[in-house]
Amino acid sequence: MSSTKDLRISTEEIAEARRALRGVAWRTPLLPASRDEEHVFLKLECLQRTGSFKIRGAWNRMSRVDSPGLRRGFVTTSAGNHGQAVAWCARKLGARCVVHVPDNAVQRKVDSILSMGAEVVKKPHEEIMESMTDDRLQKLGMTYIHPFGDRQVMAGQGTVGLEVLEDMPDVRSVVVPVGGGGLINGIAFALKGRKPTISIYGVQAEGAAPLPKSLASGRAEDMGHPRTIADGIAATRVFDYMLPLFRENVDGVLTVSDEEIRYSMRHLASECHVVAEPAGAASLAAVRKYRERLQGPVVAVVSGGNCDPSLLSDAVLKSAP
Ligand SMILES: *Cc1c(COP(=O)(O)O)cnc(C)c1O
C-alpha cells in the first residue's frame, strides 16, 4: 500500500497550508549564526509553538478533519515532538488524542504530551515502527496523523521553506535535519519550484544514518537500532515511499557525530542565546563541519528546542571545541 503513496506536493498546497496555519503556527525568526560566520543563518523553529516545527504539519492536517472525525478523535505515533504537536492541536480542536510513544522516549516530552490532555501508550520501538506502516491504528476509528508520510503534513512543514525564501531571497543552501523526511521534502518542494538553483542538504547523526546508505544503494535501508543523542532524528530506516522524494529533492546528506552535535548546542547557547535540542543543533553542526562544500548564504534549520535540561547542561559544560 505504502509504496504507491504519491507525496509529490505542489507549491499551491504549501501556499494553502500557509493560510491554514495563520494565527496558529508562529513565524519564526531567521538570524545570523554568529558575527564571524556572515553567510550562515539560523531558522529558529526551536522557538515555534510546542517547541518544534511539527505543529505546522499537524495543524494543516488536523484542522481539515470534519466534525464526525473530530468526535472520533486522533491517534499518532511519535518519540515526542510530533506527539506534542498533535496533542496541542487536538486540544485546540476539542478532540480526544492518543499518542503511542516508544518506551525509551524522553521523559520531558512524554510529560508535555500528558500535560496537554492526551493519553500516552508506551510501546517497544519496533512496534511503533510497524504501526507506522500498517493500518492497525487507522482501524481504531480515530484519525491517524502520520509524522511525515502524508501530503498535508508535508505541505505544512514546507511552509518553513516559504518563510526562509521571503526573509532571504538570495539563499543558496538550506541544511535540514532528517528523520522520516517530511521536513526536508516539504521545504524542498516549497523552494525548488520557486528557485531551482537552491541546494537542499539533509543531516543525520552518524549513529542513525540510513539515508546516505539508501541513496547509495537505491534501496530503502534499515540500520537496526539508532545510536545517537539526537532523538528527534534517530531514524533506523528509510520508508520505501519516501526514497523517490529524497532522490529528487536532496542534493547531499551530511552526517555529524554526537560530539559535534553537543558542541553545536553549546555554540547555540553561548553565542546565539538559543536553546536547541540535539536534532535541532545537528544542522549547524553540519554547516560548520562541511562549510567548504556549501555555497552561501546558508540557512541551517534549527528544527526543535525540546531538550532535557541535564542534556543541555552536559553539552554546555563538557563539549570540547
Ligand atoms: C521530527 C523532527 C525532525 C525530523 O523531521 P522529519 O520530518 O521526520 O524528517 C528534525 N528535528 C526535530 C527537532 C524533529 O522533531
Q: Which of 72-76, 88-92, 243-247, 316-320 has the lowest mean pLDDT?
A: 316-320
Residue whose entry in the numeric block shows the C-alpha cell 510513544: 101
* Dihedral in degrees, nearest 10, Cα atoms 122, 125, 126, 127: 20
| Cα Rg, the chain, nearest whole Å | 18
Residue 321 has a pLDDT of: 63
Hey, which residues does 174 pair with through a beta bridge? Answer: 200, 299
Residue whose entry in the numeric block shows the C-alpha cell 518544534: 52
Residue 61 has a pLDDT of: 98
User: Atom of ligand 1 at shortest distance to CA of 182?
Assistant: 7
What secondary structure does DSSP assign to 128-196, as a single string? HHHHHHSSTTGGGSSEEE-SSSSHHHHHHHHHHHHHHHHH-TT--EEEEE-SSSHHHHHHHHHHHTT-T
Q: Distance between CA 209 and CA 97 in Å, rounded? A: 31
**Residue 119 Cα to ligand 1 middle (Å):** 22
Contact 252, 211 (CB under 8 A): no
Residue 260: CB atoms within 10 Å: 20
Q: Distance between CA 33 and CA 299 in Å, rounded? A: 9
Within this chain, domains 4-52+151-318 and 56-145 share the same CATH topology: yes
Give the pLDDT mean for 200-215. Answer: 96
Q: Is 303 in the pocket of ligand 1 (CB under 6 A)?
A: yes
| Residue of 60, 77, 81, 228 best suited for mutating to test ligand 1, as the one with most atoms within 8 Å of CB | 81
Q: Is 211 in the pocket of ligand 1 (CB under 6 A)?
A: no
Contact 44, 302 (CB under 8 A): yes
Residue 1 has a pLDDT of: 42
| Residue of 50, 183, 268 best suited for mutating to test ligand 1, as the one with most atoms within 8 Å of CB | 183
Give per-residue pLDDT as tens, 266-286.
Answer: 999 999 999 999 999 999 999
Contact 40, 298 (CB under 8 A): yes
Q: Is 183 in the pocket of ligand 1 (CB under 6 A)?
A: yes
Q: Is 304 in the pocket of ligand 1 (CB under 6 A)?
A: yes
pTM: 0.95
Contact 45, 302 (CB under 8 A): yes
Q: Is the pLDDT of residue 31 over 90?
A: yes
Question: What class has domain 56-145?
Answer: alpha beta
Residue 39: CB atoms within 10 Å: 17
Average pLDDT, whole number, for the chain?
A: 93
For the domain bounded by 4-52+151-318, which CATH number is listed?
Answer: 3.40.50.1100
Q: Is 181 in the pocket of ligand 1 (CB under 6 A)?
A: yes
Domain locations in the chain as residue ranges: 4-52+151-318, 56-145
Q: Is 301 in the pocket of ligand 1 (CB under 6 A)?
A: no
Q: Is 186 in the pocket of ligand 1 (CB under 6 A)?
A: no
User: Atom of ligand 1 at shortest distance to CA of 178?
Assistant: 9
**Residue 97 Cα to ligand 1 middle (Å):** 21
Helix (H) or strand (E) holding 270: helix 258-272
Question: By percentage, how much of the chain surpasses pLDDT 90?
Answer: 79
Q: Is 177 in the pocket of ligand 1 (CB under 6 A)?
A: yes
Give per-residue pLDDT as tens, 155-165.
Answer: 999 999 999 99
Hey, which residues does 201 pair with through a beta bridge? Answer: 175, 252
Q: Is 51 in the pocket of ligand 1 (CB under 6 A)?
A: no
**Residue 68 Cα to ligand 1 middle (Å):** 30
Give the pLDDT mean for 168-185. Answer: 97
Q: Is the pLDDT of residue 35 over 70?
A: yes
Hey, which residues does 299 pair with through a beta bridge? Answer: 41, 174
